[in-house]
Chains A and B, each alone.
Chain A
Amino acid sequence: DTAVSQTPKYLVTQMGNDKSIKCEQNLGHDTMYWYKQDSKKFLKIMFSYNNKELIINETVPNRFSPKSPDKAHLNLHINSLELGDSAVYFCASSQDRGHGSYNEQFFGPGTRLTVL
């Protein structure tokens, strides 16, 4: 059984379009994340959601909006796509045990977004 799944695996689209990436976890975790990995493999956190509340929002353009319909899902919606948005986007989940506690994050397989 897949623990953290993402769809689609590949997404190719034109500049200016709006797209969504879906993420689901079946681990019963209460916290989910989105990370962006650029072409040099550098990985940075974009968002985390805990109990349907946004906890971290790094310096991400407001064209990016996470949407969590329930605890098991955290979708990423991107408006007006730009060339620089091309990257691999990873969803992850974990069980929140409090600040400073052990926090193993389980990652999805990634969605490779290419903006033309």
Chain B
Amino acid sequence: GEDVEQSLFLSVREGDSSVINCTYTDSSSTYLYWYKQEPGAGLQLLTYIFSNMDMKQDQRLTVLLNKKDKHLSLRIADTQTGDSAIYFCAEASSGGGADGLTFGKGTHLIIQP
């Protein structure tokens, strides 16, 4: 079955870069996603990457994909207090057209002043 692993906590200083790492097991995943959950809120799609890409950049966000190692990372440049949230890596579950998502356990990003 699918499995997505992330470290549970990351603490960075305001203004530094944050790098959140994720490993996954399903080599057939065509899209991989990063969702953000702020306290008391639902999840919001932050960014995604297609499996034939190595890198995707979107303003302060950079996603790196190493398909051989099944490793995905999210880099947030110039981390701000508003970036404090839980970040979930996700891949589509196998099983037909209406795929649910298999989420990692989420990385709590803690910003130090």
Q: Which listed segment binds B: A13-21, A62-70, A75-83, A103-111?
A: A103-111
A61 within 8 A of B: no
A99 touches B31 (CB 8 A): no
Point out the residues of chain B lying under 8 angstroms from A35, CB to CB. 100
Given A45-B93, A56-B93, A102-B31 contact (CB < 8 Å)? yes
A25 at the interface (CB under 8 A from B): no
B99: A residues at CB distance < 8 A = 48, 56, 99-100, 103
Confirm or deny: A98 has a beta carbon within 8 angstroms of a beta carbon on chain B.
yes
Q: Contacts of A43 on B, CB cut-off 8 Å?
A: 43, 88, 103, 106
**Given known A31-B98, A41-B106, A101-B30, contact A110–B42 (CB-CB < 8 A):** yes
Inter-chain CA distance A56–B102, complex, in Å, is 12
- The answer to whether A109 touches B97 (Cβ under 8 A) is no
Tell whether, in the assembled complex, residue A55 and residue B101 are in contact, meaning their CB atoms are under 8 Å apart.
no
Question: Which chain A residues lie closer than 8 Å to B105 at the CB level?
Answer: 40-42
Cross-chain contact A50 with B97 (CB below 8 angstroms): yes
Taken together as a complex, chains A and B put the C-alpha atoms of A86 and B105 apart, in Å, by 18
Are A55 and B103 neighbours in the complex by a CB distance under 8 Å? no
Give me the interface of A with B, judged by CB distance under 8 Å: 4, 31, 33, 35, 40-45, 48-50, 55-56, 58, 90, 92, 96, 98-110
